[in-house]
Amino acid sequence: MSTETGRESQRSGALVDLMRWMENLSDTQYAYLLLLPVFLLLGIIALYPLLRTFELSLYAVSTDLSSTSFVGIDNYIQLFAGEKNRFLPGGTTFLPANLEFTSLLNSALVITILFAVVSVAFETIIGLGQALILDQDFYGRRWVRAAIIIPWAVPIVIQGMIFFLMFNNNVGFATPPLADLGLLAPTNTLNDTASAAFIIIVADIWKTSAFMALLILAGLQSIDRGLYDVAKVSGATKWQQFKLITFPLILPTIGVAVLFRSVQAMRIYGIIPTVSSCAVVPSLSCMVVATFNTREGTSAAIAFVTAAIIGAVVMGLILWQGEDAI
């Protein structure tokens, strides 16, 4: 009996010591303690695959695909030097061979960055406009919100088929008016790199602007409406209210939205083969898929470089948000 009582007191003592230790933690230390399971989970599902990808990038597959050999960073050197670009579809390269327009469009890195910058910029502007409209009180606002969400809910394959049929030379109706404006090639539109890239960017903007609008709308609705009442009493115009109240307060929300969309845009793949092909509009994800079966080491190197670029973009946006918050 005394032994069981001693065990219970020992357990109680250990639990009490643990509770006291947790109580003595600072707010920052306590927050990290709560986040520890999340960090462990991310390490398992995110960090390990990344390290495994880097490990694979240090090997090369033999010509007959029967064995692999350690080559160190040779895959990265050859990738940036362009020595292995000859086996990629459509003459696709990782880096442009020169600054000529054709060479730039054949570069998967250039196309990916161009797509990410242009699409995210327009999606942010359009999403901000939609959010400002949806933040107002008007009849039928619920139905307008539902209508805006519809493009975002459309699967990528269906989205791609819609734009493929719109710009197909045989059945499409959208090519002639845009070709007259000089925005598209009048014939063989979906096999022209510049035209197909333009169509894919428009398709992505059409689909994903709603995502930006919803995130920004959440930021708008968190603003204290009393600030606008004070501004009206002070005689501030609508533009001054937006400039001095609305925009500064939703800027962190816009930063988060841009962060999410930038990460997604850098991984663009599905819409490209659906509308055109990876040989016509290359991207980094297209290169990974195209080289996986025959050049696993190079494919892993491209994937790791893509992850590094995405990581750099994320860190840049986080640092920008931190400076803005200060």
Place of tokens 């059945």: 171
User: 287 with 92: CB under 8 angstroms?
Assistant: yes
Q: 80-89: which pairs have CB atoms within 8 A and are 24 or more residues apart?
A: 84/295, 84/298, 87/291, 87/294, 87/295, 88/282, 88/287, 88/290, 88/291, 89/278, 89/279, 89/282, 89/290
| DSSP H or E run through 20 | helix 2-23
- pLDDT attached to residue 65: 58
pLDDT number for residue 326: 38
Per-residue model confidence (pLDDT) at position 123: 94
Sign of CA dihedral 62, 293, 77, 50: negative
Angstrom distance (rounded) from CA 92 to CA 86: 8
pLDDT at res. 138: 79
What is d(CA 320, CA 278) in angstroms, rounded to the nearest whole number? 33
Q: Is 182 left (phi over 0), alpha (psi -120 to 50) or beta?
A: left
Residue 93 bridge partners (DSSP):
107
pLDDT score, position 205: 94
Quick one: 233 exposed, middle or buried, by C-beta within 10 A (0-12, 13-18, 19+)? exposed
What is the predicted pLDDT for the residue at 325? 44
- Reading the block at residue 121, the tokens are 């910029």
pLDDT, residue 32, reads 82
pLDDT at residue 56, as a whole number: 87
pLDDT at 270: 87
Structure confidence at residue 4 (pLDDT) = 53
Q: What is the mean pLDDT of each run of 10 residues along the chain (326 residues)?
A: 51 70 78 83 82 87 68 83 58 78 84 93 93 84 82 88 88 85 85 90 92 90 87 87 90 89 89 88 86 81 88 82 52
